[in-house]
Amino acid sequence: MASETVKKVLEAEAEADRLTAEARKKADDIITEAQRQSTVALQKKLAEAKSETDKIKRNNAVSLKEYADKAQKGCSEALEKLKSTAEKNSDKAVSAIIDSFFG
């Protein structure tokens, strides 16, 4: 009878070990699947972020070109005005010099 009890205890321990191993495997499988899903989700979010960043860069490039073109046009107009003023002043200076010698 004692041997029957020992046998049952050993069988119960073996069953407990088997169940524990099964539980560990299931836990490892769950963790592995969660890691895989999180990796996929992370890659998806990174791709979305890159796409959004590229879109922002394109929009900024367009805005920068428009601003640079507008600034260039403004600078050219201002330069033309300065050139015109300088030419008028140069003509007046030459006239003043000529008048002072011959005037």
C-alpha R_g of the chain: 43
How far is residue 41's CA from residue 28's CA, in Å, rounded to a whole number? 20
Length of the chain measured in residues:
103
| Confidence at residue 103, expressed as pLDDT on a 0 to 100 scale | 63
| Confidence at residue 74, expressed as pLDDT on a 0 to 100 scale | 96
pLDDT tens for each residue of the chain, 103 residues long: 679 998 999 999 999 999 999 999 999 999 999 999 999 999 999 999 999 999 999 999 999 999 999 999 999 999 999 999 888 888 787 787 888 887 6
User: Tokens 């050139």 — which residue?
Assistant: 83
| Confidence at residue 54, expressed as pLDDT on a 0 to 100 scale | 98
